[in-house]
């Protein structure tokens, strides 16, 4: 019993010394910076802005120019010369005239103008004197007919048309329906000389 009592103060003294040693050991301090999360701040990326005021991806628009309507053209006339004035009709007019198989109108003549408008031109020739009769038919545009009428010469009572004379050649011009008819010859000193042939041609076009 006495020995136990002696042990107790020794234990107490040992415990006290341990506590003193613990108080003398320095504790490791953690830097405050290590406790703070170092998250890098985000860097703002500059955004490009368009200063042109228009969509850079859109293609430029080409303005559409108005297109004018194409000019009207003359209507082709494909009719045989022997149908405009038959051999019998020409024989009744003058038996000495024959139809030429090939004929190229002189430049500037009414027959040449008719061919230029996709019309038909014919020539009859007197086998004795060589005097000619040129016949043409065309179907110009309405606006062209107005111009042709204005330059066709003087109106005549011999037929429903016009007559003019230049360089010793008389020319009868008739406008029947859409057709423009011309008959030219040195035989025609006046409008009445062409009356019979004008009637033959206009009858063929009805």
pTM of model > 0.85? no
Determine the pLDDT at residue 61.
59
| Long-range contacts of the stretch 156-159 (C-beta < 8 A, 24+) | 156/191, 158/190, 158/191, 158/192, 158/194, 158/195, 159/191, 159/194, 159/195, 159/198, 159/199
pLDDT in tens, 85-127: 999 999 999 999 999 999 999 999 999 999 999 999 999 999 9
CB-based burial of residue 181 (10 Å sphere; 0-12 exposed, 13-18 middle, 19+ buried)? buried
Determine the pLDDT at residue 21.
37
Domain boundaries, the chain: 81-204
Look at the domain 81-204 and name its fold: Phosphorylase Kinase; domain 1 (3.30.200)
Give the chain's residues under pLDDT 50. Answer: 1-5, 7-54, 66
CB-based burial of residue 136 (10 Å sphere; 0-12 exposed, 13-18 middle, 19+ buried)? buried
């Amino acid at each position: 019993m006495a020995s136990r009592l002696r042990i107790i103060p020794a234990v107490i003294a040992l415990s006290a010394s341990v506590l003193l040693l613990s108080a003398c050991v320095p504790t490791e301090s953690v830097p405050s910076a290590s406790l703070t999360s170092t998250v890098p701040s985000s860097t703002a990326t500059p955004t490009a802005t368009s200063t042109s005021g228009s969509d850079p991806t859109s293609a430029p628009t080409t303005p559409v120019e108005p297109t004018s309507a194409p000019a009207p053209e003359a209507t082709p006339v494909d009719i045989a010369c022997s149908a405009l004035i038959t051999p019998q009709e020409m024989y009744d007019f003058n038996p000495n005239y024959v139809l030429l198989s090939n004929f190229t109108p002189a430049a500037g003549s009414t027959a040449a103008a008719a061919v230029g408008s996709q019309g038909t031109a014919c020539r009859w020739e007197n086998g004795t004197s060589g005097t000619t009769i040129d016949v043409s038919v065309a179907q110009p545009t309405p606006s062209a007919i107005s111009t042709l009428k204005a330059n066709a010469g003087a109106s005549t009572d011999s037929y429903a048309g016009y007559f003019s004379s230049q360089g010793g050649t008389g020319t009868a011009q008739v406008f029947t329906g859409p057709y423009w008819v011309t008959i030219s010859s040195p035989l025609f000193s006046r409008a009445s000389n062409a009356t019979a042939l004008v009637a033959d041609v206009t009858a063929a076009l009805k």
